[in-house]
Structure 1
Amino acid sequence: MSASIVLHDLAWAPPGRSPLFSDLNLAFGPERTGLVGRNGVGKTTLLRLIEGRLTPQGGTVTVKGRVALLRQTVQVDGSETIADLFDAKHALALLGRAEAGLADADDLGRADWTLEARITSALGRLSLDATPDTRVASLSGGQRTRAGLAALLFEEPDWLILDEPTNNLDREGREAVIDLLAEWRSGAILVSHDRELLEMMDAIVELTTLGATRYGGGWSAWRARKTLELEAARRDLADADKRLTDLARTAQRNAERKARSDSAGRASAARGDQPKILLGARKDRAEDTGGEQSRLAERRLDQAEGAARTARERIECSSR
């Protein structure tokens, strides 16, 4: 089974506020993806929907594969140990009883004899000199991050979910996150403002008020593409504004022409130099033609205003 995350017609809104997502369709494959966008657009909310901590108000979230979330800040008390981070305290205690000859047959059947060696191996991958009994409170901030990463890798997940993983980390902790992502070859979704991390991504997904757009490559490739899109949107806005100006001038000329024609018609009718039936027919034709031209002008104006509005939205999103 290939790992994947698919969002179909996803909808969610904070209580009493406008929707963050409406009919959002997005798919993630087994690659490293950076999730970017302005503050408040819904990046962290999207991660929580993927993790299952929030329930969609519409649409579906389909996750294939095991998901693991990196704890950004390890909150500890004086008794918490590395074994607690690995959720292995009880399993290790069972092994202790077995080694002391105090385990019954059921305990021996449930014992994971490779557990301690696998925990030690995971800690070693992060260059952390610690044992399952090491108290987390005795570790530095960077060492705690390494321990958290080791526990995460120990789960052998198909997906890593990382929300601003390098915020408030010391150099050692930040390097641990960078090293992990550099060698990671499964699925990962990262929310971050850290350009070095985003540069390592295989793809960037940008969230805006207009929806979500996927770009191949890391941060530099995404910024280069955004620069081109911004230039194109500005050209489109200039063209739309010119079209609006031209339409306004045409409408003014048509209005002046009609006013002159109406004035001439009234003058001719006052002089009585044309039959009334002919004047009536001309008036009807003029009204029909004028109505058709007015409707055509309105359609063209609506199209030009729509094009200008779309271009402005694109500029607003691309400039952030």
Structure 2
Amino acid sequence: MPSITLSGLAASTPDGRPLFSDIDLSFDAGRTGLVGRNGVGKTTLLRMIAGILPPQRGSLSVNGTVGLLRQTVQVAPDETLADLMGVAGALALLRRADDGCATAEELAGADWTLEARLASALGRVGLDAAPAALLSTLSGGQRTRAALAALILAEPDFILLDEPTNHLDREGRAAVIDLLAAWRSGAIVVSHDRELLETMDAIVELTSLGATRYGGNWSHYRTRRALDLAAARHDLADAEKRMGEIERTAQATAERKARKDGGGQRQRAKGDMPRILAGARKSRAENTSGDQMRLAERRRAQAAEDATAARRRIEILQPLSVTLPSTNLPEGRTVLRVETVSAGYEPGRALIDGLAFVMTGPERVALTGPNGSGKTTVLALIAGTLAPRSGEVRRTRAFALLDQQVSLLDPRLSIRDNFLKLNPGSDENACRAALARFMFRADAALQTVATLSGGQMLRAGLACVLGGPRPPELLILDEPTNHLDVDAIEAVEAGLRAYDGALLVVSHDESFLAAIGITRRIELTGRN
């Protein structure tokens, strides 16, 4: 039976920072979701299983074939869908056979089922494209679907998927979920997509403390994790109670010894006790006292170690929360008015045509639609980086747009310096407190933006925009969950729930939209 076994596996970053250590896991047929905070090593673990990276310590055994879906599909200008799927040569042979140009030797090696299997694989991921189609003409979501179809065609014993629903619209996400629902071999899926994780058979959480397997789907994992958090809090309270009792006992023992020593000294001073007897008693008392002190110290050290371990577990398990200053946005104030706007990039072709809507007060609006329907174009119109061909866009001056590149941040500056630049009225204490709420504590706030991962960059952007003394009345977000881990997504959700301004969001993540309380949707079809 195909299986994957990890024993004592360890990995570090190129600069020597430990990612994970002593990982003992096994995988067989079934769907396993791999979750954990950004930077903990999930992608590194997948690459080790795929044989791309060697284990730095420990062993890894793979019994069966493995196929890996990477987060990004890079393409050459002349690369076709058939090239990506590894069938260009086999399809060319079938064409030559149809034309009567193939040799007898070539015909003997022809795969006559290939075209049917290829069509089936593309159909399972909902991709309507010819094998000769250039990958450069496909959207990012379509390329992801093509890479999934390539895995289906190869029929490996295990598929390894790294954020498979990133950049996919609702239809694409549904195709991935349907694919995994019908997959009968092994699957290991790194994802922050809670809708996808709900379909898993098991969840493995990777943390700095190791890896923990939870049987069941995302909801079951969250329930178990809450129980683990309660247990960690109980362990911390117990350790702190033991430390308090040890300190009180040690203090009482020290006070009794001091009284006893004082009495002995007075007796010796009077000469009531022979010197040899007094010396023997003093020696026994000191030995007893020393034994008690060493025992107390061992108990104190054990309690302190238990408390430290419990605090580390709590830090990992504790849901993150964010509090924000108020925008004081009144209910009736208009923050955005889009009046019969048309726009596009090609002469004579309007991607957006006749779009009109108004946002007033602290509304929460989702801008939805399939990939290519013009959502990013609408955001560019609102931000003023694209001029409409007709119509008008009017918005509040107090607005902020966080695009997928978080371009409002200066990549040359640290997170701290970006915050102070965007919030000139803030002092150092307010800056550090705001950044800490978004998990940039101490030296983490001094990281240069150019060195951040995509998820870290979005968190930094949110911290700089929402954490200042005067948050914008209107916040616009473009696919904010694409590069965040689940803990960070939930922290952002908590912050956006606390945000009392107007919110316009482009997202295909239905769990995210529900969590932040979206009240209205504007659906784009590509003809708006």
Q: Is the TM value for this pair above 0.5?
A: yes
Distance 1:193 1:227 in 2: 18
Q: Hey, what does 2:89 align to over in structure 1?
A: 90
Query: What is the match of residue 219 of structure 1?
Result: 218
User: SS of 1:23's equivalent?
Assistant: strand
Structure-2 change in CA distance of 1:283 and 1:78 (3 Å): closer
Q: Taking structure 1 as reference, are residues 168 and 132 closer, same or farther at Cα in structure 2, changes over 3 Å only? A: closer
CA shift, 1:156, in A, is 0.9
Percent identity reads 64
- What are the Cα deviations for residues 57-116 of structure 1, in whole angstroms up to 9, with x where unaligned? 111111112111224444344533221122111111122222222222322222222222
d(CA) in 2 for partners of 1:107, 1:291 = 89
Partner of 2:119: 120
Deviation at 1:315, TM superposition (A): 1.1
The 10-residue stretch of structure 1 (83-92 or 142-151) with the greater mean CA deviation from structure 2: 142-151
User: Aligned pair 1:186/2:155, yes or no?
Assistant: no
CA contact (8 A) 1:141 1:173 kept: no
Higher relative contact order (CA 8 A, sep 6+): 1
Q: Distance in 1 between matches of 2:98 and 2:238?
A: 80
Give per-residue Cα distances to partners, 1:273-311, cap 9 Å, x unaligned.
Answer: 111111111112111211211121112112211221221
Asked if the contact 1:141/1:170 (under 8 Å) is kept, the reply is no
Q: Contact 1:6/1:27 (CA < 8 Å) preserved in 2? A: yes
Structure 1 residues 296 and 127, CA gap change in structure 2 (3 angstroms): closer
Q: Match of 1:270, SS?
A: helix
Return 5+ residue gaps in structure 2 as ranges. Answer: 320-528
Name the SS for the 2:213 alignment partner. Answer: strand
Aligned-pair CA distance for 1:148: 2.5
Per mean C-alpha deviation after superposition, the further-off stretch among 310-319 and 44-53 is 310-319
Q: CA deviation at 1:126?
A: 3.1
Of 306-315 and 154-163, more deviation after overlay is shown by 306-315
Give the aligned partner of residue 232 of structure 1. Answer: 231
Contact 1:31 1:202 in 2 (8 A): yes
> CA contact under 8 A between 1:120 and 1:131: conserved in structure 2?
no
> Higher mean Cα deviation, 222-231 or 304-313?
304-313
Q: Which residue in 2 is equivalent to 1:313? A: 312
Matched AA of 2:52: R
Asked if the contact 2:140/2:167 (under 8 Å) is kept, the reply is: no
Distance 2:21 2:128 in 1: 48
1:246-287 CA-to-partner distances (Å, cap 9, x unmatched) read 111111111111111111111111111111111111112111
Contact 2:126 2:172 in 1 (8 A): no
Partner in structure 2 of residue 68 of structure 1: 67
Asked if the contact 2:32/2:204 (under 8 Å) is kept, the reply is yes
CA distance in 2, matches of 1:104, 1:286: 102
Q: Which residue of 2 aligns with 1:146?
A: 145
Equivalent in the alignment of 1:304: 303
The residue matched to 1:235 in structure 2 has which SS?
Answer: helix
The equivalent of 2:101 in structure 1 is 102
**Partners of 1:54 and 1:258 in 2: how far apart?**
62
Task: Name the stretch that deviates more: 310-319 or 199-208.
Answer: 310-319
Kept after mapping to 2: 8 A contact 1:72/1:163: yes
Once residues 283 and 77 of structure 1 are traced to their aligned partners in structure 2, the CA distance between those partners, rounded to angstroms, is 87
What CA deviation, in whole Å up to 9, does each residue of 1:137-181 have, x standing for no partner? Answer: 444444433332222101111111111111122223222212212
- Name the CA distance, whole Å, in 2 between partners of 1:48 and 1:177: 21
Q: Secondary structure at the match of 1:20?
A: strand
Once the two structures are superposed, the pairs formed by residues 1-320 of structure 1 within 5 Å of their partners are 2-319=1-318
Bigger radius of gyration, 1 or 2?
Answer: 1
**SS of alignment partner, residue 113 of structure 1:** coil
SS of 1:193's partner is coil
Which structure shows the bigger proportion of residues in helix conformation?
1
| Aligned AA (2:228) | E
23 and 170 in structure 1: CA distance in 2 versus 1, 3 angstrom threshold: same
Aligned pair count? 319
Change (3 A) 1:252 1:200: same
- Name the TM-score, length of structure 2 as normaliser: 0.58
Q: Taking structure 1 as the reference length, what is the TM-score of the superposition?
A: 0.93
Q: Mean alpha-carbon deviation: is it higher for 124-133 or for 58-67?
A: 124-133
Partner Cα separation in structure 1 for residue 123 and residue 231 of structure 2: 50
* Aligned twin of 2:399: none
- Which piece of structure 1 moves more, 272-281 or 126-135? 126-135
**Which consecutive unaligned segments of at least 5 residues does structure 1 have?**
none
CA contact (8 A) 1:36 1:204 kept: yes
Q: Is 2:81–2:134's contact at 8 Å kept on the other side of the alignment?
A: yes
Asked if structure 2 preserves the Cα contact closer than 8 Å seen for 1:6 and 1:61, the reply is yes
CA distance in 1, matches of 2:77, 2:21: 45
Matches of 2:242 and 2:52 in 1, distance apart?
A: 49
Distance verdict in 2 for CA 1:166–1:128, change over 3 Å: closer
One-letter amino acid of the structure 2 residue matched with residue 257 of structure 1: R
